[in-house]
Each structure stands twice: as structure tokens, then as C-alpha cells.
């Protein structure tokens, strides 16, 4: 029942587009159905999209007025809405629907911290619809933590038609979420990851909820462009699913129908020792163009695989810096370790192509599989690899 209700809410959020560009009509429509709804520029809150007024306190005041069962807060589509560092846990309201379709939300230069955050697990049911979330990269430096949303142990999250751009860290930084949907939208000119789904050894959680696994995650139909690396070749993914915990992992993750352009890697799942392996992680029907090192990768994953992906011209260069010297540039990568090999993965119906010729061709392998057990590889098409089209090391025996 909980899952069905969550999926209905995600589907409903997608219908707000035309309404959200007329915030007064949207608020009236919601109120007519008995739901709580308000505009951030309501005189009771004093929010302004003038590019000067900080809107942290107006937004928190609106959330404080929202009933415990949740409601909808609309950021009108006119002007620039300036925010600095909104701690959602100060109010702790669940089932908040934040509609920002057509609005431009801008990170203030005051504080080098996340635009919106909740490290107490009080924002379950948060749905963000629309908006261009500008993270003011020029005002900060790599190594600082400035993401659009940093949420720890949150359930039932949805980001629908959200655009996040120009940041010095992740767009969405999510530690052990459950029942997460990222639907459509765009993530551009960010560092480390467009969307990070992570189970660290210590997640910095400040609430009372117990540790748990990430579960039931879908990233669908989103576009990722120019995701750069801030950790010397270790990062730069459009979508990252990772774990380094000996107690928690991720399972039931699907990345599908997404486009990755000029990222270091498109989508990448990696679970390293001494952490637990990832489980049931799938990358299906994605398009990856000009990835700098690898197109898609599953490392330390048991169950799942890659199906129906198109990977073109791996070995590109992220704009703004020289290419990373990589010894094994590959379209699709499956790997593991002695203790945590890849296991029971299916790689099928993918097309991996290097269209460049001569010295311009950089993709060494189409499909590179190392430290695998019970790998199924079938009906894949590879063209133009400079070393080998498909190389598989299966240790099932």
C-alpha cells in the first residue's frame, strides 16, 4: 500500500506542469480539493523572486504553517529566487510537495554548504517538481560541499522535471534513500556526480532512525551533461550508486532511458571492500556519448546487468580540462574484487561503437568484464574498439 501510494504521488506530480506556470490557479485548484497549498510570495511569508531577498526563512515559515499531513508550496515562475542554506529539519515536515516549475532558484554566495539539506530524516515524502536550480559554481571551489539537495536516510523522495546546473559538487546527494524516483529533468556542469546514491561507512545521520539499505530506486528519462571529476579520476558520473559500508548496501536500482553526454562516466555502480556487494542493479536503454573513461559500469554487484544501451565514442574529453590518462577505456565495464566479484549479471542487446577512426579513436574495449561469476553476455554489438571488442574473465569454475 505504501509503495502504491508513493507511485501515485509521483505520477500526480507530473501533471502539475501547465498548472505550475499559473501558481494562483494551482493553489486555488488544490485548495478546492481540501489540500493545503500556498505561494512563497504570499504576504504572510514575504518571499520574493528579486534576486536579492534571501528566501530561507520565508520557506521555513511556510513549511511550519503546513499541516502534519503535508501540502504544496509553490515557488512562482517569475524572477530569481535566492536561497542560502535551508535546513529542512528545522521544521521537519513530511510529504512536502515543492513546485518550482518555471522558477529559477539560485544559490546565495554567503555559505559554502548545501542549498537544501536534512540530516535528521525528517523529510520523508518530499516531492520537488520543476525549477532550474543554479548552484553558483564560480563563487565556490572544488572540495567544498554545495549540492542542491543533501538528504540522509530519507524515504519516498521524488524529483520530477528538475534541472540542476553549475555546481562544484553533486546535484542530488542522497545517502541510503528508499523509494526514490528521479524522473526526467537535467543535470549539467556539475562535479563528482549528477545524482549520487551512496551508503558510506558513516553517513553523518543525526536522527533516531536505524541504519538500513538503499532500496527501490529509479532514475528515468533524465539528461546528464558535462559532469566533471573532482577526485583525480575517481568520480565524474552522471549517476553514481556506491557503497563502502560493512552493514548496508543498495538493492533494486534501475537507471533507464537516460542520456549522458561528455561525462567522465555515464552511470556507475561500485561497491568496494570491505563493504557489502550491491544487489539487483540495472542500467537499461540509456544513451552514452563521449564519456571520458567508461560508458557504464557495475563493480562489486550481484544480480542485475545492462540491457539495450547505446554507447558511442568512449574516450572523449570533458570540456575545460585535458583528458584523464586511462589504461582501459571501455564502453561497458563489469568488475569486482577477489572478495566481492561481480556475480549473476546479464549483459545483452547493447550497442557499443567507436565512430572515430585512426589516431582519433580512443575506445580500447567495447565490453570489459573482469572478476565475474556466472556472467551472461549475449547479442551485444561492438564496433571500432582499438584493442578488443569483448573481453570476459569468468571465474565460475
Residue 381 forms part of a structural domain? yes
Q: Is pLDDT above 80 for 280? A: yes
Residue 84 forms part of a structural domain? yes
DSSP SS3 for 314: coil
Q: Is pLDDT above 90 for 356? A: yes
Among 64-68, 211-215, 282-286, whose mean pLDDT is lowest? 211-215
List pLDDT tens digits, range 106-143. Answer: 999 999 999 999 999 999 999 999 999 999 999 998 78
Residue 197 forms part of a structural domain? yes
Residue 255 forms part of a structural domain? yes
Q: Is pLDDT above 90 for 148? A: yes
Residue 187 forms part of a structural domain? yes
Half-sphere exposure (Cβ direction) of 271: Cα atoms closer than 13 Å: 28
What gap in Å lies between CA 362 and CA 261, rounded to an integer?
16
Residue 248 forms part of a structural domain? yes
List pLDDT tens digits, range 56-104. Answer: 999 999 999 999 999 999 999 989 999 999 999 999 999 999 999 999 9
Residue 161 forms part of a structural domain? yes
In our burial notation (b when 16+ CB lie closer than 10 A, e otherwise), range 361-371 reads: ebbbbbbbbbb
Comparing 167 with 10, the larger pLDDT belongs to 167
Residue in 27, 37, 131 with CA at minimum distance from that of residue 79: 131
Q: What is the mean pLDDT of the chain?
A: 90
- Per DSSP, the residues of 81-131 read EEE--EEGGGT--SSEEEE-TT-EEEE-SS-SS-SEEESSS--TT-EEE--
Residue 204 forms part of a structural domain? yes
Q: How many domains does the chain have?
A: 1
Name the phi and psi angles at 65, rounded to 5.
Answer: -75, -20
Q: Is pLDDT above 70 for 16? A: no
Domain assignment of residue 304, given as a range: 78-394
Q: How confident is the model at residue 253 (pLDDT cuts 50, 70, 90)?
A: very high
pTM of the full structure: 0.92
**Could you tell me the CATH number of the domain that includes residue 281?**
2.160.20.10
Residue 15 is given by DSSP the state G
Amino acid at each position: 500500500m505504501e509503495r502504491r501510494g508513493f507511485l501515485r504521488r509521483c505520477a500526480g506530480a507530473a501533471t502539475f506542469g501547465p498548472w505550475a506556470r499559473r501558481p494562483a490557479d494551482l493553489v486555488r485548484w488544490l485548495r478546492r480539493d481540501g489540500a493545503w497549498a500556498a505561494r512563497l510570495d504570499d504576504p504572510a511569508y514575504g518571499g520574493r523572486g528579486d534576486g536579492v531577498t534571501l528566501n530561507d526563512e520565508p520557506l521555513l515559515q511556510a513549511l511550519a504553517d503546513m499541516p502534519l499531513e503535508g501540502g504544496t508550496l509553490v515557488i512562482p515562475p517569475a524572477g530569481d529566487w535566492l536561497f542560502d542554506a535551508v535546513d529542512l529539519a528545522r521544521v521537519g515536515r513530511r510529504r512536502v510537495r515543492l513546485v518550482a516549475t518555471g522558477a529559477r532558484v539560485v544559490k546565495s554566495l554567503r555559505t559554502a554548504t548545501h542549498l537544501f539539506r536534512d540530516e535528521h530524516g525528517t523529510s520523508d515524502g518530499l516531492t520537488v517538481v520543476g525549477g532550474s536550480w543554479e548552484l553558483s559554481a564560480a563563487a565556490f571551489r572544488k572540495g567544498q560541499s554545495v549540492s542542491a539537495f543533501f538528504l540522509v536516510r530519507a524515504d519516498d523522495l521524488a524529483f520530477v522535471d528538475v534541472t540542476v546546473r553549475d555546481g562544484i559538487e553533486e546535484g542530488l546527494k542522497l545517502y541510503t534513500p528508499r523509494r526514490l524516483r528521479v524522473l526526467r529533468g537535467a543535470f549539467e556542469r556539475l562535479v563528482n556526480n549528477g545524482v549520487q546514491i551512496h551508503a558510506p561507512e558513516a553517513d553523518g545521520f543525526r536522527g533516531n532512525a536505524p541504519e538500513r539499505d538503499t532500496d527501490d530506486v529509479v532514475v528515468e528519462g533524465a539528461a546528464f551533461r558535462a559532469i566533471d571529476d573532482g577526485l583525480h579520476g575517481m568520480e565524474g558520473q552522471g549517476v553514481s550508486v556506491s557503497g563502502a559500508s560493512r552493514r548496508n548496501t543498495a538493492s533494486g536500482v534501475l537507471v533507464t532511458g537516460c542520456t549522458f553526454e561528455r561525462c567522465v562516466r555515464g552511470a556507475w555502480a561500485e561497491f568496494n571492500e570491505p563493504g557489502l556487494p550491491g544487489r539487483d542493479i540495472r542500467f537499461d536503454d540509456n544513451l552514452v556519448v563521449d564519456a571520458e573513461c567508461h560508458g557504464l559500469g557495475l563493480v562489486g554487484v550481484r544480480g542485475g546487468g545492462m540491457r539495450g544501451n547505446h554507447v558511442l565514442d568512449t574516450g572523449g574529453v570533458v570540456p575545460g580540462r585535458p583528458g584523464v590518462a586511462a589504461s582501459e577505456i571501455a564502453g561497458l565495464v563489469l568488475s569486482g574484487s577477489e572478495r566481492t566479484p561481480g556475480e549473476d549479471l546479464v549483459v545483452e542487446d547493447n550497442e557499443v561503437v567507436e565512430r572515430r577512426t585512426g589516431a582519433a579513436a580512443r575506445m580500447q574495449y567495447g565490453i570489459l568484464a573482469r572478476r565475474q561469476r556466472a556472467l551472461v553476455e549475449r547479442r551485444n554489438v561492438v564496433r571500432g574498439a582499438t584493442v578488443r571488442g569483448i573481453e570476459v574473465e569468468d571465474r565460475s569454475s
